[in-house]
Amino acid sequence: MTFRDLVKQPLYGIYERRLLQTIPSDRLPHHVGIILDGHRRYAREAGLPDYETSYRAGMAKFEDFLDWCHGLGIPAITAWVLSTENLKRPTDELDPYFDVLISLFERLPAHANRLGYSIRFIGSLDLLPDALVRAAKQAEEGASHGQHRLTIALGYGGRQEIIDACRELVSDLAAEGIPAANLAEHIDVDALSAHLYTADLPDPDLVIRTSGESRLSGFLLWQSAYAEYLFEDVFWPAFRRVDFLRALRDYARRERRFGR
């Protein structure tokens, strides 16, 4: 750690406390969606020896993020750690990331239980390696009773979620004996929402994406219709608590209209 870093640490602490004073507790989001983006670009800019080093830094930051949310009393988090599009990357990039995720999932239950979060995974797990799926399922089983909710989008695609919801809804209606000619009249917002991966969660209030990309890339497409979006320039491994507090301050200042 450099002398400059030693000087900056207490200054950031002072700034964080001041930021907290500007955020009314009744204006905090109940459900935060977070897109953990920018690992590879961070590795290149920071001159790291490989992507795996950046992945490990990013997953350590994710554990810090859970602590930040818990400290603020945010009851629901949905984190996108792996998309279906990511699965098209070269094996030499994916395999180290899978190993890092497995390591995260192995230690996550103890962390989540300490904070009072249950863990649930959403996405096309059938597309993922067996070892990763096993680690995810064991993490779910190891932290299933928390009052707060941590949802991890793994092998997730927003369009695929909507397709799966439509298929499941139509299948259920057919099983109820609804004639094919009458199916359409039974399909509405509430019926489709009930078949989404996150049917038992409130819609996100705030969605944050790091790395400077100003798009959702399919994250919670249906659920985020009226969410507030914040796009941060910083890469995920470098995302700081002060960046999160700034995002919450900006969110608290917005007037949510929900399309009205």
Structure tokens at 54: 């950046």
Work out whether the CA dihedral 223, 170, 83, 85 comes out positive or negative.
Answer: negative
Q: Which of 64, 86, 99, 172 is catalytic?
A: 86
CA distance 178 to 184: 10
Identify which of 234, 235, 231 has the alpha carbon closest to the alpha carbon of residue 247: 231
C-alpha atoms less than 13 angstroms from C-alpha of 97 in its C-beta half-sphere: 20
Structure confidence at residue 11 (pLDDT): 67
Work out whether the CA dihedral 188, 194, 195, 197 comes out positive or negative.
Answer: positive
Structure confidence at residue 1 (pLDDT): 47
Second CATH level (architecture) for the domain 29-245: 3-Layer(aba) Sandwich (3.40)
* 76, 147 contact by CB (below 8 A): no
Q: Is 92 a catalytic residue?
A: no
Q: Is the pTM of this model over 0.75?
A: yes
* 35, 220 contact by CB (below 8 A): no
The partner residues of 154 in beta bridges, in order of sequence, read 82
List helix spans (H) across 25-50: 39-46
* 215, 239 contact by CB (below 8 A): no
The DSSP symbol for 237 reads: G
Q: Which of 5, 26, 37, 67 is catalytic?
A: 37
Q: CB neighbours of 109 closer than 8 A, spacing ≥ 6?
A: 119, 138, 139, 142, 143
Q: Which residue ranges make up each domain of the chain?
A: 29-245
The DSSP symbol for 85 reads: G
Q: Is 113 a catalytic residue?
A: no
* 99, 130 contact by CB (below 8 A): no
Element (H, E) at 132: helix 130-142
Structure confidence at residue 17 (pLDDT): 87
The partner residues of 119 in beta bridges, in order of sequence, read 150
Q: How far is CA 231 from CA 38, 130, 216, 244, in A?
A: 12, 33, 9, 11
pLDDT along the chain (260 residues), means of 10: 51 82 94 98 97 98 98 98 96 96 98 98 97 98 96 98 97 96 96 97 98 95 96 97 96 84
By residue count, the chain amounts to: 260
